[in-house]
Amino acid sequence: MESCNRKEVEQGLKTEEFNTHEVDVTSNAGEKSLSSKVKDVGSISNRETYFRADKIDFKSWDIQLDKHLSRAWSRDREVQTRREEWEIDLSKLEIRHVIAQGTYGTVYKGNYDGQDVAVKVLNWGEDGIATDAEIAAVRSSFRQEVGVWHKLDHANVTKFIGASMGTSNLKIPPKNPMNGSYDSHPSTECCVVLEYLPGGTLKKFLIRNRRKKLAFKVVIQLALDLSRGLSYLHSKKIVHRDVKTENMLLDAHRTLKIADFGVARVEAQNPRDMTGETGTLGYMAPEVLDGKPYNRKCDVYSFGICLWEIYCCDMPYPDLSFAEVSSQVVRQNLRPEIPRCCPNSLASIMRKCWDANPDKRPEMDEVVRLLEATDTSKGGGMIPEDQSTGCFCFTSVRGP
């Protein structure tokens, strides 16, 4: 009877042999522990293994398995959260106050690792207003901007410091200082950290000088900074696609630096791959407005408009609607009116840059050479408004 019961127990406890490829016990200590348990409770044959269930330390097995899985999950998380080369440590970033606000984000002044910085925080539309397509477009724009910007190094391009794909640890000062706590942001937002340029945008600088205008040597200096920056971008096969005075920043010494690469892209080998209306009306080349293929020469056109704006300290087409500008630039060859006091050398550069035929526009490195050869010793700046009888100059007098 006892012999019969013993056989039943042994048959009931029969188990399949453990496959070492199925349970990877990586700890040496764990392997020794398991081996000792097996020797104590079973007999090993060539074909089958028998264990006494009441002698097996399942808790020890669970501990070893948990350790193994924990290491595997840690490796997976490390792969998923591995930082991009441009990612920053948000714990080193301090946000101070708002500089500017836009449709999809806010720009703050801050400090990163002891350096004054500008922090561009992008809002991806978690407030429920933006559509999924719009959110996807902003995310794509962010990756595109960072992908372009972090590789650039030039005196006339705003210095990229870093970026972050998540802002859950970003400490944003509250709109109400009496609140005392930081504003929270969705973890899926992102931020770009750049060198801080205290001079603000070129647009605001020109507005401040709208009445008294700029000396000719200042005009040429700003134009050279912009042309050198664009020439550098084009040498890297990058088309900015939104060249305008709002996207140019000034440092404390009035050095101009190109910023905002949200719509920049690497130039396609086939121009037909680059189509669509990208940019700002008033600065957009006719081929872009007309939905035709374009290349880096669209930046040259926009530079020509910016050059006119720098010289005149005024806005192009202030009295026309968007629809009128778009139609007349393409169909009627509309361009800003060049003042008569503008030196022929500068007026010639403007006309060459905004030629309707992209193939006739100069390369930016040629524009740099033309500007470098411009004589500023005799003045030639726009006549200030209080010294002229009208908006444009009809006398032979030269400005400063």
Neighbours of 65 (CB within 10 A): 14
Residue with tokens 């000062």: 173
Sheet containing 160-164: which strands, arranged edge to edge? 93-101, 105-112, 115-122, 190-195, 160-164
Neighbours of 104 (CB within 10 A): 20
DSSP annotation of 345: H
What separation in angstroms does the CA of 382 have from each of 212, 256, 378, 389, 390?
9, 20, 13, 13, 12
Q: Are 355 and 313 in contact (CB under 8 A)?
A: no
Q: Are 156 and 225 in contact (CB under 8 A)?
A: yes
The Cα 156–Cα 146 span in angstroms is 17
Neighbours of 356 (CB within 10 A): 14
The Cα 125–Cα 128 span in angstroms is 6
Q: 150: number of CA atoms within 13 Å, CB side?
A: 17
Per-residue tokens: 115: 């350096």
The Cα 370–Cα 363 span in angstroms is 11
The Cα 213–Cα 49 span in angstroms is 95
Q: Are 330 and 392 in contact (CB under 8 A)?
A: no
Smallest CA-to-CA distance from 94 within 104, 76, 75, 109 is with 109
* Catalytic center residues: 242
What separation in angstroms does the CA of 17 have from each of 6, 7, 10, 14, 158?
21, 19, 15, 9, 65
SS3 category, 224: helix
DSSP annotation of 123: P
Phi, psi of 337 (to 5 degrees): -80, 125
